[in-house]
């Protein structure tokens, strides 16, 4: 049986930004996961979002009506789900605002100017919301069944809202065999933040992108993941604060859009 991991808790309203940044630096180098409190999204809105539909997943992309984004969002009609779109849009904006505030502390944690990511990556940022439903029925198969198999997120950072049902696990040492999995407990009112592969690449592997999975518990489970990524034209290259003569850059520069597109092709190409 998996043990429970004790993750750091980061207060987004801390008046000591540099102390908060040091806590983030420690969390991102040791775990790649942490809890975020006082993130600005009201508890009532968190509860409304988790009263979503029973689809396996539902994606919401950027809300800006820019032609370059292709007007890709397709919303259920008001007749089918009254008020649902406005709730999701409110949560999208709340998660985006929390991510914008958090990324300033992340920049400080990397010994950068707090506006670094705004200047090089957020013109505008890319935000994607993914609503997930895990069924409660496990079926009769003898094979091990996953709610979500082991993976790391592709992008920059992820802010995760969960409904309190257990199942989320992380593997702190992804290259170690055998893998050791630990349970991530739910803390009411918090968002769970994790580092993505792009941020690991950007920081020359200083910040870790941690393997995680969802194990079935026999109960229905809902979660909402907000993926905060750079503008597709942003060039992701090793940060100067994360490399030196003894630790040269491990990866060549790449456009954020090209990187994410390649990762998606590899994952879903088959």
d(CA 68, CA 70) in angstroms, rounded, equals 5
3-state secondary structure the chain: CCEECCCCEEECCCCCHHHHHHHHHHHHHHCCEEEEECCCCCHHHHHHHCCCCCCCEEEECCCCCCHHHCCCCCCCCCCCCCCHHHHHHHHHHHHHHHHHHHHHHHHHHCCCCCCHHHHHCCCCCEEEEEEEEECCCCCCCCCCCCCEEEECCCCCEEEEEECCCCCEEEECCCCCCCCCCEECCCCCCCEEEEECHHHHHHCCCCCCCCEEEECCCCCCEEEEEEEEECCCCCEECCCHHHCCCCCCCCCCCEEHHHHHHHHHHHHHCC
pLDDT, residue 61, reads 81
d(CA 196, CA 203) in angstroms, rounded, equals 11
pLDDT, residue 223, reads 92
Q: How many structural domains are present in the chain?
A: 1
Closest alpha carbon to 211 in 175, 170, 245, 252? 170
Averaged over successive runs of 10 residues, the pLDDT of the chain (270 residues) comes to 87 94 96 96 91 66 59 84 91 95 97 95 89 74 58 94 92 86 94 96 96 89 94 95 94 96 80
pLDDT, residue 53, reads 52
Domain encompassing residue 103: 3-268
d(CA 51, CA 216) in angstroms, rounded, equals 20
Q: What is the CATH number of the domain that holds 92?
A: 2.60.120.330
d(CA 208, CA 200) in angstroms, rounded, equals 5
pLDDT, residue 142, reads 45
pLDDT, residue 71, reads 61
* C-alpha count within 13 angstroms, C-beta hemisphere, residue 57: 9
The reply to whether the predicted model has a pTM over 0.75 is yes
Query: Burial level of 175, CB count in 10 A (0-12/13-18/19+)?
Result: exposed
pLDDT, residue 55, reads 40
Count of positions (residues) in the chain:
270
Other C-beta atoms closer than 10 Å to the C-beta of 148 total: 15
């Amino acid at each position: 049986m998996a043990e429970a991991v004790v993750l750091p808790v980061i207060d987004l309203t801390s008046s000591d930004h540099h102390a908060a940044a040091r806590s983030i630096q420690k969390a991102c180098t040791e775990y790649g996961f942490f809890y975020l409190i006082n993130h600005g999204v009201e508890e009532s809105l968190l509860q409304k979002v988790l009263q979503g539909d029973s689809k396996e997943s539902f994606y919401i992309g950027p809300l800006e009506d820019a032609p370059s984004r292709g007007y890709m969002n397709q919303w259920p009609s008001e007749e089918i789900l009254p008020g649902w779109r406005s709730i999701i849009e409110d949560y999208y904006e709340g998660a985006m605002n929390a991510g914008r505030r958090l990324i300033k502390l992340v920049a400080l944690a990397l010994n950068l100017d707090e506006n670094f990511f705004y200047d090089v990556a957020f013109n505008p940022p890319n935000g994607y919301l993914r609503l997930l439903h895990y069924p409660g029925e496990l079926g009769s198969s003898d094979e091990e069944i996953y709610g979500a198999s082991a993976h790391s997120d592709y992008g920059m950072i992820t802010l995760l809202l969960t409904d309190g049902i257990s199942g989320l696990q992380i593997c702190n040492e992804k290259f170690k065999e055998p893998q050791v999995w630990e349970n991530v407990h739910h803390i009411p009112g918090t968002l769970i933040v994790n580092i993505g592969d792009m941020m690991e690449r950007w920081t020359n592997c200083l910040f870790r992108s941690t393997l995680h999975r969802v194990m079935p518990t026999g109960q229905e489970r809902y979660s909402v993941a907000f993926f905060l990524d750079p503008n597709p034209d942003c060039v992701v290259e090793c940060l100067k604060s994360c490399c030196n003569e003894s630790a040269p850059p491990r990866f060549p520069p790449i456009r954020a859009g090209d990187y994410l597109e390649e990762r998606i092709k590899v994952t879903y190409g088959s």
